[in-house]
Amino acid sequence: TPFYAESGGQIGDTGHIFGNGFQFVVHDTKKNREGTYFHIGKINAGSVEVGDVLSAQIDGLRRARIRRNHTATHLLHAALRANCGEHIRQAGSFVGDEYLRFDFTQPESLASDMLTSIENDVNNSILQSKHVETEITEVQEAIEAGAMALFGEKYGDNVRMVRIDDTSLELCGGTHVDRTSEIGSF
């Protein structure tokens, strides 16, 4: 399936599955612990049989907004660590098509001038149109390369590492832009 299932704070894809008179509107995509994908939605027409050939189409505009917000969370994480210190760690997140939320560890609230500095750092990374690349590697190699990981998460032998030029290196299975300039502004 081309549909991204809700995972790691990123919401699941929506779209359509169709073929030979069959129409299914996908309202959400989830997966269970075994990795089985579930397309949640409504049949608008027809029926489907085992062996039928179907086409699956995600909502591309919505996916693009989610990708922008997800990459922005990585830039935000890097800017928080650069401005506040290496003690900053992600403690949760929500990545949707309309907004993002980034939870992090910090002993005191951030002053308004610190928030402005963080926002400026993220926007500067966006304006620099930094390259975003993903690589599948062994988990130990990723950690040795300095990739940030959520150590409460379970990782397999091979992991997906997302690098934003010299700004961010994290283990992440979510969707991302190709260049930070695609985000627009933060």
Question: Could you read off the pLDDT tens digit of each residue along the chain, which spans 186 residues?
Answer: 999 999 989 999 999 999 999 999 999 999 999 999 999 999 999 999 999 999 999 999 999 999 999 999 999 999 999 999 999 999 999 999 999 999 999 999 999 999 999 999 999 999 999 999 999 999 889 888 989 876 556 677 789 999 999 999 999 999 999 999 999 999
The most distant pair of C-alpha atoms in the chain lies apart, rounded to whole Å, by 60
Tell me what pLDDT residue 160 has. 93
**Distance separating alpha carbons of residues 109 and 111, to the nearest angstrom:** 7
Tell me what pLDDT residue 152 has. 54
Tell me what pLDDT residue 157 has. 79
Write out the two tokens for 170. Answer: 């994290």
Tell me what pLDDT residue 182 has. 98
**Distance separating alpha carbons of residues 168 and 90, to the nearest angstrom:** 13
- Residue type (1 letter), 63: R
Q: Is the dihedral of CA 89, 141, 183, 124 positive or negative?
A: positive
Tokens 């049949």 belong to which residue? 43
